[in-house]
Chains A and B, each alone.
Chain A
Amino acid sequence: MQERTYEKYFRQNRLPHIWCPGCGNGTVMKAIVEAVEKRKLPRDKTVIVSGIGCSSRASGYMDFDTLHTAHGRAIPFATGIKLANPELNVIVITGDGDCTAIGGNHFIHGARRNIDLTVVLFNNAIYGMTGGQASPMTPLHKKATTAPYGSVDRPFDACQLASAAGASYVARSTAFHVQHLTDMIAEGISVEGFSFIEAVVQCPTAYGRKNKMPEPAQMMAWLRDHAVLQKAWDKLPEEKRSDKFPIGVFLKRQFEEYTKAYAEVIASAQGGKK
C-alpha cells in the first residue's frame, strides 16, 4: 500500500489517538493537515496551538511545533507567537466550550484585532472532556448532564459572533462533509487576517448518548441531512430551516492585519527616537 501523504504530519508514535470510537475529532484533525498540505505550508514555519478539551488534544498528535495551552487561552498564546514572529503560520484548535465559554473574550478580541490566525473550532455542542456539561453552543432543548430536561439557554452562533467581532474570514462545515471541510480550512489559511472555521463534529459519547444518537454513524447521517450549503440555505423558506443549519463561506473581507499594523507602530516609534 502507498502510505498516505498526510501521515507525515502525525506523530506516529502517538497514534491511535485517545478519542472515543467514532468521535469526529479525528476527521477534523485530518482535514487540517490536508489543508496544510494543500497550501504547502512548511512544517517548520507552522505552529499548532490548542486550549483544553477533547478537541484540544489534537495538537499532541500533530508533528509541528505545537503548544497545548490553558483552557480558553489558545488565542492569546497564538497572538503572542504571531506577534513575536509574524512569518509563522499559526493554526488554533479549540472546542465550543474552550472558545465561547471560558475563552469567549479572547475569541472576540482576536477577531476584533484581525490578527492573522486560522482558528478551527471543533463544535461537538458540549463539554466532552469533563463528561457532557452544556456549553454556550448546546442547541436549545438538547440534553446535557447540566441540563437534564434540555437546555433553556439560547446558544451562540459562533460564526455570527466572529463576523460581528471583525474576522476576515468565516466558514462552517462538518465532519461528514470531509472534502468541503478541508477546502474551508485551506481557504482560511490563505486569508490574511483572523480566519474562523467552525467544524461541527459528532461526539457520540457525551452528546449523542444524551440525545438519542448513541451511534457515530447515526450522528454523521444527521450532519449529512441537516447541513445545507449556503446557496440552498438562502432559498430555503424560514419554516423549513428549523433544525437545519448552513455550511459554507459566510464572510471574506479585507482589513488591515494586526501584526502589520503593529509593525508600522514599531517602525514609526523607533524612527521617532533617533
Chain B
Amino acid sequence: MDTEIFLKSERCKGCGICVAFCPKKVLQLDTLGHCSVVRPDDCIACGQCELRCPDYAIFVDKKVYA
C-alpha cells in the first residue's frame, strides 16, 4: 500500500511500543535506540504506531499523488 511514515526523531525515546504493536514488522529500533522504518513497503497504514506512541514521534499518512 502507498503510505508515508514520518518520524520526529528528536522526540523518539526508543520505547519500542510502535515496534511491538506494528502488525507488519515495518519498524525496528536502530543501533542508537531510535525508531526506524525498515520495511516501508509492508506498511498497511493501520495507524497503530501513531496511535500508541506516547511521544508523538511517528506519523502515518496515505500517499497523495499530485
Contacts and interface: CB of A to CB of B under 8 A. Distances in A.
B15 A216 contact: yes
A61 to B, nearest CB: 10
Contacts, number: 60
B56 A30 contact: yes
B59 A4 contact: yes
A24 B55 CA distance: 9
Interface of B: 4, 6, 10-11, 13-17, 19-21, 51-57, 59, 61
A21 B15 contact: yes
A141 B5 CA distance: 42
Given A176-B52, A179-B51, 20 more contacts: A1-B59, A1-B61, A2-B61, A7-B56, A10-B56, A16-B10, A16-B11, A16-B55, A17-B55, A22-B15, A22-B54, A24-B54, A27-B54, A178-B51, A178-B52, A216-B16, A216-B54, A217-B15, A217-B16, A217-B19
Contact of A15 (B11, B21, B52): B11
9 contacts: A2-B61, A21-B15, A22-B15, A26-B53, A26-B55, A26-B56, A215-B20, A216-B54, A217-B15
Interface size class of A (residues with CB under 8 A): 20 to 34
Nearest to A215: B16
Given A17-B55, A217-B20, A220-B52, A22 B13 contact: yes
A23 B20 contact: no
A7 B6 CA distance: 15
A19 B54 contact: yes
B47 to A, nearest CB: 10
A217 B54 contact: no
Nearest to B12: A16
